[in-house]
């Protein structure tokens, strides 16, 4: 009987030690998982910041190339996530580069954030139907909502290029002028920039 008691005590000690060690191990695993997730999050943030910086730099080069006032990136999305052009409903400005001394568009969050594609067909369709699109503000109909927005912001003309991936439009780039001088409308550089910026934006997805 004494031997049975020792065996029982030994088994209890073993179970207790096992439970304690497993608890320590589980805590260690949990801690490592938190640390790894934190590292991944920091890495993701750093990646996004680097990508945004590179997009901004590319836009600045594009703006300077065309002697434009502003260069912008617009991305199509479903209200929450940026997607390609299949089945999306809205578009928003995600990046902008502004010439020194020029202000960002007035009240741009109202004009350029989560805008319904269905309400902007006159603008979006010609952009998506071709590799580039040059538009003078005065060429839009008097009833056009975008004509009023562009004129309110004193924009004389735009040059657009879509960001395309595997046949779907993911968004577009625009450069805008605030003067009536003769504009350089050769699309070579803006098409190249759209391809490069599209690659950058896809990197963090």
Question: Domains in the chain and their CATH numbers?
Answer: 57-203 (3.30.450.40)
Instruction: Select the more confidently predicted residue: 88 or 165.
Output: 165
Torsion of CA 123, 149, 66, 90, to 10 degrees: -40
Residue bearing tokens 């991944």: 40
Q: What sign has the CA pseudo-torsion 43, 194, 53, 103?
A: negative
> Who has greater pLDDT, 17 or 108?
108
pLDDT tier, 118 (very low <50, low <70, confident <90, very high otherwise):
confident
**75-102 average pLDDT score:** 76
Task: Find the mean pLDDT for residues 31-53.
Answer: 64
Q: Which helix (H) or strand (E) segment is 12 a member of?
A: helix 2-65
CA distances from 61 to 74, 137, 159 (A): 17, 24, 15
Residue 85 clears pLDDT 50, i.e. is over it: no
6 pLDDT tier (thresholds 50, 70, 90): very low
Joined tokens for residue 59: 């836009």
Question: Which of 190, 84, 53 shows the shortest CA–CA distance to 130?
Answer: 190
9 has pLDDT over 70: no
């Amino acid at each position: 009987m004494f031997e049975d008691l020792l065996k029982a005590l030994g088994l209890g000690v073993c179970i207790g030690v096992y439970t304690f060690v497993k608890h320590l191990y589980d805590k260690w695993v949990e801690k490592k998982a938190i640390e790894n997730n934190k590292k991944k999050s920091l890495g993701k943030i750093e990646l996004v910041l680097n990508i945004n910086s590179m997009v901004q730099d590319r836009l600045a080069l594009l703006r300077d190339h065309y002697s434009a006032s502003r260069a912008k990136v617009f991305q199509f999305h479903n209200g929450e996530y940026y997607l390609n052009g299949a089945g999306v409903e809205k578009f928003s400005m995600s990046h902008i580069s502004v010439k020194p001394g020029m202000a960002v568009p007035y009240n741009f969050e109202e004009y350029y954030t989560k805008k319904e594609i269905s309400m902007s067909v006159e603008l979006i369709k010609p952009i998506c139907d071709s590799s580039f699109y040059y538009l003078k503000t005065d060429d839009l109909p008097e009833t056009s909502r975008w004509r009023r927005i562009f004129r309110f912001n004193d924009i004389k003309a735009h040059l657009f290029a879509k960001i395309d991936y595997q046949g779907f439009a993911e968004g577009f780039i625009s450069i805008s002028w605030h003067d009536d001088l003769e504009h350089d409308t050769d699309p070579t550089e803006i098409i190249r920039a759209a391809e490069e910026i599209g690659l950058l934006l896809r990197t963090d997805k």
